[in-house]
Chain A
């Protein structure tokens, strides 16, 4: 917990994130309210901190009005893709999160859901069709079919 205290995240988000000290090489367990949890190894701590700082920076803008648990779910998403060598912006993450929560949405529906202009959402979705990994390989995080967007596992 203390490892993330200075990331700028509020206490209610931090409380949901950290369960700490699992033993062995595990350093931290991230847990969300609905029961999922991810063991974070020491080697991934920098990554988690980075994600938390990135998320905290958007609390006053994109993530304004988000419930703490929903923010934690987004952090999970960021950690998940980062561990696969993919770096997303907060807006990209928010849009991807929306598609993952409700597969098959149109760009307009996503726009309404995330409070980002439709044109911007379209651009963000397009970027998710070809996202670079840290090794240079490009992967698709979403696919489009008949105007509807679906998440892809990578």
Chain B
């Protein structure tokens, strides 16, 4: 079976994926040595802008969001549909996003970085970018500009909006007649897009982008900026850009429809998008609007891969997030980087102070399948909005999973539970670990633990009747922080969790525990071990 790759707009370089925007989701940014990550953010935000302000973009968002909670087959069908729509607007989207990225670097005086970026672009991005090479304001001329020239920054701002208006015009083909219906067929939408593809609309619009056009956009932008100072929302800017895009399309003989003509609530409801709340960004306070605009997730790593051992032995907290995981042998013949690993600590519930680890694997890979290769990556789950990072590597995992780097991510609800000291402790720590030995939960952890073992300064959860054959514990070396216990009964491995609180005496005070756990707690208190392995005869 061919591996499904998440459909979306990928920012690719010669050797990696640097960013991904899936309409409706926050942009995903991958740390890269070659590309300034903030410029990648600008690139992905470019995609987001076009999807937020065009009927086609809104439809794409609806498609991606409609996948939530659906089965694999249905999700795969939607993903293919998204890919088919993206085929029709790839040049428009990537051209504008790349222009915005270049512009970001130039407007911050990073001319050398901008030159380097342009030189390293893959040929499709280079060709896409050329669609925004405006008469009188060529990209080459901009790259030759001097650094820190304020007047030049004003030109850059105007040019970015000029590019935006062209791209917005290209993306804004009329679809509301279909999308506003009580029911519509996705194929009907696809055909409408194919009959009037944004990539061809772009060429037509580009032909009408003379110097006079750039100057008129410039005027509109700076008038809008003045208006925004008093209203504190972006509506004046959006209204003006909408009018500019509409006017450009009219001049070029291209049909235009504004995004607000689509009844988004109705369309999402028709498409089965549930649990999504709407807020018109145009009426948000500028501060909030900018934060919304910049919302993105940074991933240290590229794509994902798991090998068979891990897949078999590691049961993840949410299988849907790992639906793309592949046995490594399937990648033979393909090209893949060593996976980076992210460990996320997820609390059992808002009332508990205990967590279970969830591992994420990231690597770029090429899957060889009958001569066809598919490049792909795993999207990080949307459940990690805040994070604390540590670059230190857990000591035992490298042997099992070759990797380039480790990142710890603490799920932000860690800070919510009643035990408020955790908020302070974790906050003060800012980084912790290496913590865990190989964590091999055999089954889904949640709900499998019924007894709580309270120990001074920390507590642990353990499953009832878990007096099995052995415990293994590895404590955070040289620090407190978080540690994890797990118990092996035959082949069944059940994780137990212990949290350490810095500065608090960890002397064992087990109110209810198996002998093994007591022994473990004593060892924790003594701090005299790195790893314990014990046999137990039962409670």
Binding site for B on A (CB under 8 A): 1, 11-12, 14-16, 18-19, 31-39, 65-70, 73, 80, 83, 101-102, 109, 112-113
Tell me the smallest distance from the CB of A21 to a CB of chain B, in Å.
Answer: 11
Chain A contacts for B88, CB-based, 8 A: 67, 69-70
Chain B, 84-100, contact with A by CB distance < 8 Å: what is the 0/1 string?
10111111001000000
Chain A contacts for B80, CB-based, 8 A: 101
Binding site for A on B (CB under 8 A): 5, 7, 10, 80, 83-84, 86-91, 94, 122-124, 126-128, 187, 190-191, 194-195, 197-200, 366, 371-376
Q: Do residues B89 and A16 form an inter-chain contact, with CB atoms below 8 A?
A: no
Chain B contacts for A70, CB-based, 8 A: 87-88, 194, 197
Docked complex Cα distance between A70 and B7 (Å): 15
Q: A35-B375, A37-B373 in contact; A67/B195 too (CB < 8 A)?
A: no
Tell me the smallest distance from the CB of A20 to a CB of chain B, in Å.
Answer: 9
Chain A contacts for B198, CB-based, 8 A: 67
Tell me the smallest distance from the CB of A107 to a CB of chain B, in Å.
Answer: 15
Chain B contacts for A68, CB-based, 8 A: 90-91, 199
Q: A65-B195, A70-B194, A112-B191 in contact; A35/B10 too (CB < 8 A)?
A: yes
Q: Do residues B199 and A80 form an inter-chain contact, with CB atoms below 8 A?
A: no
Question: Which of B86, B366, B375, B376 contacts A69 (CB under 8 A)?
Answer: B86
Q: Which residue of B lies closest to A109 (CB)?
A: B187
Chain A contacts for B128, CB-based, 8 A: 12, 15
Docked complex Cα distance between A62 and B514 (Å): 76
Q: Do residues B197 and A66 form an inter-chain contact, with CB atoms below 8 A?
A: yes
Q: Do residues B122 and A34 form an inter-chain contact, with CB atoms below 8 A?
A: no
Q: Do residues A69 and B90 form an inter-chain contact, with CB atoms below 8 A?
A: yes
The 10 closest A-B pairs by CB, nearest first: A67-B197, A69-B87, A15-B127, A33-B90, A15-B123, A67-B199, A34-B83, A69-B90, A15-B124, A67-B88
Chain B contacts for A67, CB-based, 8 A: 87-91, 194, 197-200
Interface of B is mostly: helix
Q: Do residues B91 and A80 form an inter-chain contact, with CB atoms below 8 A?
A: no
Docked complex Cα distance between A92 and B23 (Å): 33
Q: A12-B91, A66-B197, A73-B87 in contact; A83/B371 too (CB < 8 A)?
A: yes
Docked complex Cα distance between A150 and B474 (Å): 56
Tell me the smallest distance from the CB of B50 to a CB of chain A, in Å.
Answer: 15
Docked complex Cα distance between A70 and B376 (Å): 20
Q: Do residues A38 and B91 form an inter-chain contact, with CB atoms below 8 A?
A: no
Chain B contacts for A31, CB-based, 8 A: 124
Q: Which residue of B lies closest to A38 (CB)?
A: B372
Chain A contacts for B197, CB-based, 8 A: 65-67, 70
Docked complex Cα distance between A67 and B374 (Å): 21
Docked complex Cα distance between A37 and B374 (Å): 6
Q: A11-B127, A68-B199, A69-B86 in contact; A37/B366 too (CB < 8 A)?
A: yes
Q: Which residue of B lies closest to A101 (CB)?
A: B84
Docked complex Cα distance between A101 and B194 (Å): 13
Q: Which residue of B lies closest to A36 (CB)?
A: B374
Tell me the smallest distance from the CB of A125 to a CB of chain B, in Å.
Answer: 17
Q: Which of A1, A15, A34 is most buried by chain B, counting CB atoms within 10 A of its CB?
A: A34
Tell me the smallest distance from the CB of B350 to a CB of chain A, in Å.
Answer: 38
Q: Do residues A113 and B91 form an inter-chain contact, with CB atoms below 8 A?
A: no
Docked complex Cα distance between A135 and B278 (Å): 59
Docked complex Cα distance between A95 and B126 (Å): 31
Q: Which residue of B lies closest to A19 (CB)?
A: B122
